[in-house]
Structure 1
Amino acid sequence: MGVNMGMYTVEQWAELEARQRIAELVTRRGRAADAKNPDAILAEHVPGSGDTHGIFDGTIEDFVEYLRVHHYSKGLYGLQRHTVSNVLVAFDSPTSARIESYHIAYHRLELTDGARDVLIGGRYLDHATVYGGRWRLSSRSVVYDWSRSHTPTAQDRRRSHD
């Protein structure tokens, strides 16, 4: 066993720090999507990592290009928010981990016949590794558990422009 630092060993402190860094990683990844920032999305992934995201299955670079062409370059997608919680981490080694987290994704769609607010609940099944000196996603698979959509109220529409 390692050096004791009060109630925790050095190894236990390192694991606690890694868990925090991984939780921050999945939060940053959600915020990058909310900002519709392809470069920020890529920064949270190992180059060439896999992404299975609804109808998309490919590399993170191809997914980001898909977002640029089909989502971000059109006025279809308005405000969006990805809230991540219940992050569970299982370490395969000190530099590799499997992560399962819950997400609720909100998307405002601006359709030709009016706006729709879409809520999607599901899970991110991620693998992460230390790459370039920090934790990054090496694969992501999105599981959709439920979804709801509705026409936004006038109050909802005002709030999305605040």
Structure 2
Amino acid sequence: MPTTEYPRVDPGVASRLPAGPILMRLRGLLVSTGIAAFVYSALANSSRMECTGGGGSDRSPAASMCAGLTAHPSWLVYAAFAVILFVAIGRVARRATTLPEALRTLDRAAILIIAVALVSVVIGTVWVFLIPLDPVRGSGTTILPFPFVWAELTFTPAP
């Protein structure tokens, strides 16, 4: 009975599968996406408050108002993480012809996800602290950093 000898395949790093290096890099991409989401969730929270007046003899509402701006993580950033992740996996599955090309695609996706997280935190935080809060006027146009953080503007009476 003749024996069939299968061609020897390089098992890759820590795997016996031919796609071992791709799976290991994909695991790294998933871990870096999770870390980027955690860092974004932790750092995208900011708030500030400005008050005018403060009681005294003048009890007019305009003289004793506080304006508060609170920023929270935006769901659009998490959606961007998911889109980048799934597009990278799809490109590796459909278009990558060599192992280095597949690994490069996954590496670029990880870099892009980390960059989106860091840029969103920086832009959102800077934008929150640059928005003028003037509770006395109570009017004007305020552009909130919607795609980067979810902001909430509140007006309350001063204590």
TM-score, normalized by the shorter chain, greater than 0.5: no
* Structure possessing the higher relative contact order (Cα contacts under 8 Å, 6 or more residues apart): 2
TM-score under structure 2 length normalisation: 0.35
Higher strand share: 1
User: Which protein has the larger Cα radius of gyration, Structure 1 or Structure 2?
Assistant: 2
Q: Which has the higher helix share?
A: 2
**What TM-score results when the alignment is normalised by the length of structure 1?**
0.35
